[in-house]
Amino acid sequence: MVKISAVIIAYNEEKNIGKCIDSLYPVADEIVVVDSFSTDATLEVCIAKGAKVVQHEFISHIDQKNFAVSQASHDVILSLDADEYLSKELIRSILNVKETWPCDAYSMNRLSSYAGKWMHVGAWSPDTKLRLWNRNVGSWGGNNPHDKVILHDAKTKVKHLRGVIYHRAYENAAAFLAKVQSYSDIFAHENRYKVKSSAFKVFYKSAYSFFFNFFVKLGILGGFEGAMIAISNTNYTFYKYAKLHEANRQLRTSLIITTYNRPDALELVLMSVMKQIQFPDEVIVADDGSGEETRQLIERFKKYFPVTLIHCWHEDIGFRLAAIRNKAINMASGEYLIMIDGDIVLPPGFIQEHRRNAWKRQFIQGSRVLLQESKTKEMLNGKKLTIGFFDSGIDNRLNVLKSRFLSSLFSYYRTGHHQVRGANLSFWKEDVMNVNGFNEDFAGWGREDSEFVVRMNNAGIRRKHLKFAGFGYHLYHKEHSRKQLAANEAVLARTLELGLIRCENGITKNSQVTI
């Protein structure tokens, strides 16, 4: 006979948790309650019932339930919420499988009530849950707040048990609608810049939800309660996608411009920032030790610049691009960072297009329109900011084309570290901090961008090449010295060989290297 640990998560459940615990005693060898610091008598009820109580700060449903599993003494877990309890038939079913334990995972139906009425038809029926399993074969996952047990191996056999979990869901409309607002807030927060939404999606998802719950799931046969559940579920669908749509439009961005003693190019770049359709929230000039002329230029722009303009400078003791980038990244207040070189002039939609493609678990490699020396002189002398497709002095003319439709077709993800250009990148600050920024072991020009991309890939952040959008005009300059290239390639080779995620000499100096 296996031993079962019953686990419950709770917060202010004094009305329900006693019945939940009582129903578990016939089948459980221990009962563990993880409480999120309740302010009512929940703890007193649990202690009086003889349950083991652990208090733990609530972060999310998934985190809390996995923590509860970690507190169990036995590998076989039976998980209930505090407002649930086992039927007598389900108790008998669990006792039967406890004797021989023929499978490692068991599902069961849940029967929910609204205002005291058990709902056998409608959106809540049937409601099958996997709640009894060996924790070695699965753990809590899914999407908050709708968690579920995820089995590590899809081939794991799951047996369905007779009987039901009774779920006392909502006492009235006010409680139901309050939960709708709470859960839709959680959904929007958890899926921000992970799941796309739009005004059309809000409409069709809501319409389908009502049709499915009221007609297909036969909520129409459930009387007032069935209609209330169908309408409330539709409300939840509406609000979760509407709030997500709003959340996906709110993004604080920082534009980082790296420069070194090229004030004429920097002036043109700053002028192009001022012509953007959508401004970044701040601009940081990451200055690798430029002289007085650059400082004066920045001070002049500060007087009429449309957003905060910050001059991030360090002493000129050689080529230290990685170090000045890290310094700028560390001081950036934006959650999403767009990084360009100080010779990349921006078309008006540049910031808008990077923001539009700012999805989690990826970073953007933008394209460059390479300008010849003659075209560069023309732009600098004439303070010209725009380029046409048929203009002379362009090496890669197709990159001048802008089309959201073509961008959706031809943008692609790329693995590996080849064809990396740090002159036009954008990424989430939390991802860059996770890999500890750029590696300051690099001396002189070469491979610092490739090594950064390798560590981002090792951390599971994909590189997306953005085509026909988010490109910049690259002013001509002579090639950098490559005398340090061999030494820099050795640093890159080490990162590749060890599969590093964090560098040791990055934003945080002498940090522990993560493999």
pLDDT, tens digit (0-9, with 9 covering 90-100), for 230-256: 999 999 999 999 999 999 999 999 999
**Which of 332, 311, 333, 330 is CA-nearest to residue 322?**
330
C-alpha to C-alpha distances, 184 to 52, 113, 178, 190, 192, nearest whole angstrom: 32, 21, 10, 10, 12
| pTM confidence score | 0.87
SS3 171: coil
State the fold for domain 4-170. Spore Coat Polysaccharide Biosynthesis Protein SpsA; Chain A (3.90.550)
Mean pLDDT of 394-423: 91
pLDDT at 479 over 90: no
pLDDT at 514 over 60: no
- 32 versus 154: the higher-pLDDT residue is 32
Phi, psi of 188 (to 5 degrees): -65, -40
pLDDT, tens digit (0-9, with 9 covering 90-100), for 325-383: 999 999 999 999 999 999 999 999 999 999 999 999 999 999 999 999 999 999 999 99
CA–CA separation, 313 and 385 (whole Å): 26
Q: Residue written as tokens 């001048």?
A: 400
> To 5 degrees, how large is the angle CA 472–CA 473–CA 479?
110
Is the bond into 126 cis (omega within 30 degrees of 0)? yes
**Which of 147, 151, 159 is CA-nearest to residue 134?**
151
Q: At 61, list the tokens.
A: 């449903």
CA–CA separation, 385 and 379 (whole Å): 7
In sequence order, the β-bridge partners of residue 110 are 165
CA–CA separation, 75 and 514 (whole Å): 31
User: Which of 19-28, 364-373, 378-387, 438-447 is the least confident region?
Assistant: 438-447
Helix (H) or strand (E) holding 246: helix 223-247
Mean pLDDT of 26-54: 97
SS3 64: helix
Q: At 89, list the tokens.
A: 């038939």
Domains of the chain, by residue range, sit at 4-170, 173-247, 261-273+321-498
Q: At 414, list the tokens.
A: 């790329």
Mean pLDDT of 82-105: 97
Phi, psi of 55 (to 5 degrees): -95, 135
The size of the chain, in residues, is 515
- Buried b / exposed e along 232-266 (16+ C-beta atoms within 10 A): bbbbbbbbbbbbbbebbeebebbbbbbbbebbebb
C-alpha to C-alpha distances, 421 to 3, 325, 377, 452, 473, nearest whole angstrom: 58, 14, 23, 11, 13
pLDDT band with cut points at 50, 70 and 90 for residue 480: low
pLDDT, tens digit (0-9, with 9 covering 90-100), for 263-285: 999 999 999 999 999 999 999 99
pLDDT band with cut points at 50, 70 and 90 for residue 509: confident
Per-residue confidence (pLDDT) for residue 443, from 0 to 100: 79
C-alpha to C-alpha distances, 393 to 78, 266, 328, 340, 366, nearest whole angstrom: 70, 20, 33, 22, 21
Cα dihedral 498, 502, 505, 511, rounded to 10, equals -110
Q: Is the dihedral of CA 211, 215, 218, 221 positive or negative?
A: positive
pLDDT at 512 over 70: no
Q: At 129, list the tokens.
A: 């849950």
Instruction: Enter the CATH code of domain 261-273+321-498.
Output: 3.90.550.10
- Buried b / exposed e along 431-444 (16+ C-beta atoms within 10 A): bbebbbbbbbbbbb
CA–CA separation, 440 and 261 (whole Å): 21
